[in-house]
Amino acid sequence: MGKKKTETKDEKFSIFPILALENIVLTPMIPQPVKIDNEEQRDYIDKCYSSNNEVFFATVDNREQELKEENIKEIGCVCVIDRVLQMPGAPSLAFVRPICRAKFEGLVYSPSFPMAKVTPLKNIETPKRKSAEFNLMMDRLDSLFKMVMNFMADPEKMTAEKLVGENSHTPVEHIYSIIHVSPLSWEEKYHIIESNTFKDLIGAAILILDESEQKIRIQASIHERTHHELSQQQKEAFLRMHLKMIKDELGETEDNDEVAELMAKSANKVWTKDAKENFEKEVQKLRRLNINNPEYSIQLAYLETLLELPWNNYNNKKLSLDKVEEILNRDHYGLEKVKERILEYMAVLKLRNDMKAPILCLYGPPGVGKTSIGKSVAEAVGREYARISLGGMHDEAEIRGHRKTYIGAMPGRFLHTLSKLKYGNPLILLDEIDKVGKDYKGDPSSALLEALDPEQNNTFHDNFIDFPYDLSRVLFIATANDLSTIPGPLRDRMEIIEMAGYTLDEKREIALRHLVDKVLQENGLKKGEVQFMPSTIEFIIRNYTNEKGVRQLEKALGRISRKLALMKVRTKKVPSEITDRHVNEFLGKKDNYLNSVGFH
């Protein structure tokens, strides 16, 4: 069962018997006893000892009955077994002497004993030149070790000092001997022995000893604070209080129902890396808060907001230009240049294939269909749709959100909208972007710059969640009546598509195809119950509307429909066809009508 060497083209391996120790890490260069309480392992050690074999000692976390490669830690020690001590009724002790660290490469089939393929690693060497930094770090290590020993009982302290003195022939051995006798967990020791250079070794040792000293100091502080309350009658209460203080210091208070519910929801959430780390950190803060603390509800609302946001959840429907064109033609008559511009941007969006969306601004007078085009585009590209009205908005917090520490704090309108839609790439219509206000509460148009800049909106900062959120996949379409009132920097971040208005022929076709049936049904009349002739529609347009859009035309048709509804209720019948005479009768004189709808 001797050691074997194999060579490949690029690597050299050695094959050793392997002994897996559960939650135990051997310290390189330091002779040490290993407790063997497993009968199978005891027989294995005896055979290796009697055969004078070197053995690879590896660490496993919660050893299963069968040794598996994935459970074995990568770094272990190749050791010589100097002696095996067996006491009746007690675990055996194997006194081992580590020769070198080694990297585990895999298990090798053996009919009798577990064997491992390993790569021996060179022992760490002390720097030949002792710099000022070297001396300072060694002094710091010794200082931390002394502070740790101050918390040891006298017999343990004397044993630790003796072992360190006997094994500190070189600075590297000195570091390993300190780590060997210090009260560290096996994970902390393993982290140190992974180091491959002297600088990494002493750096890891100092860091972990510093953390260990702080933990011991906290435990001593807890003991000191509670010691005076100890009495025979208070023993049970003392133990519970002691346990609570330890959990509070470690941030491991038991979950209440609300925290448990948050954790259950988060398990099914598709997070980004940063969002998941932040959520877990904030959950720890919530666990440390008393449920009656006013900050508890603030922290709970914050975590619920993080859970509601669609971090990595996107609507992945394929974009079809034919469908976009079909829906735009179905819902909107005319506007050929506008449709062509929109199709151009949709084609770019499809070719880029990264869903980074352009920022479009539909500019034109009221009633030309800017808002309805945005809704049609959302249907055409298969995305969720939301409308945010910016008219009169004057508080910057509406865009960026409030700091979560404020009472009643909420995220900004963008993140609030995404929380409701449940997808991170909807179409959001920013209505009346030219009517954004400004006062002492801030300038919302400045906050919009970051959201609408394709170069920045992948890291949009909302004050409520307080770390970047990706808005780059949202398709923003803004509407405006007057470009002159939009700040220049904001206007430069948008692609302007002008909607100048409709011709008489286009207005007539829009009325016949869309408006007539719509207003009749809105006013309780059946579709097709009343006919409007094209000439009658033209008569209304020429004589009763004075606009570039069709809003006043829709109002005129609505007024006529209400007159017809009144007629139907009173007489049980309505004219089958509306003529110019009916229009004059229902709408009154031209000038009076225009005055009533705001034209002078």
- The pLDDT tens digits for 36-64 are 877 888 888 888 888 888 999 999 987 66
Where does the pLDDT of residue 8 fall: very low under 50, low under 70, confident under 90, or very high at 90 and above? very low
- The pLDDT tens digits for 129-175 are 888 889 999 999 999 988 888 887 778 888 888 888 888 889 999 99
Looking at residue 1, its pLDDT comes to: 47
- The pLDDT tens digits for 511-555 are 888 888 888 888 888 887 888 888 888 888 888 887 788 888 888
Is a pLDDT exceeding 70 seen at residue 590? no
Where does the pLDDT of residue 339 fall: very low under 50, low under 70, confident under 90, or very high at 90 and above? confident
Is a pLDDT exceeding 70 seen at residue 240? no
CB burial string 333-364: b at 16+ within 10 A, e below = bbbeebbebbeebbeebeeeeebebbbbbbbb
* Whole-angstrom distance, CA of residue 359 vs CA of residue 374: 12
Q: Which amino acid is residue 418, in one-letter code?
A: L
Is a pLDDT exceeding 90 seen at residue 506? no
| 427, 473 contact by CB (below 8 A) | no
Is a pLDDT exceeding 90 seen at residue 600? no
Q: Tokens standing for 300?
A: 């709970």
Q: To the nearest 10°, the Cα dihedral for 55, 61, 62, 66?
A: -50
Is a pLDDT exceeding 50 seen at residue 6? no
Q: Which amino acid is residue 276, in one-letter code?
A: K
Place of tokens 């129902």: 257
Where does 471-541 show beta strands of DSSP type E? 475-480, 495-498, 531-532
| 522, 386 contact by CB (below 8 A) | no
Is a pLDDT exceeding 90 seen at residue 490? no
Per the rule left: phi > 0, alpha: psi between -120 and 50, beta: everything else, 106 is left
* Whole-angstrom distance, CA of residue 500 vs CA of residue 173: 84
| 212, 184 contact by CB (below 8 A) | yes
- The pLDDT tens digits for 139-149 are 999 999 888 88
| 587, 556 contact by CB (below 8 A) | yes
* Whole-angstrom distance, CA of residue 524 vs CA of residue 520: 6
* Whole-angstrom distance, CA of residue 416 vs CA of residue 444: 16
Q: Which amino acid is residue 138, in one-letter code?
A: M
* Average confidence (pLDDT) over 430-447: 81
Q: Which segments of 353-437 does DSSP mark as H helices, in order?
A: 370-381, 397-400, 413-421
Looking at residue 174, its pLDDT comes to: 92
Place of tokens 């970047």: 468
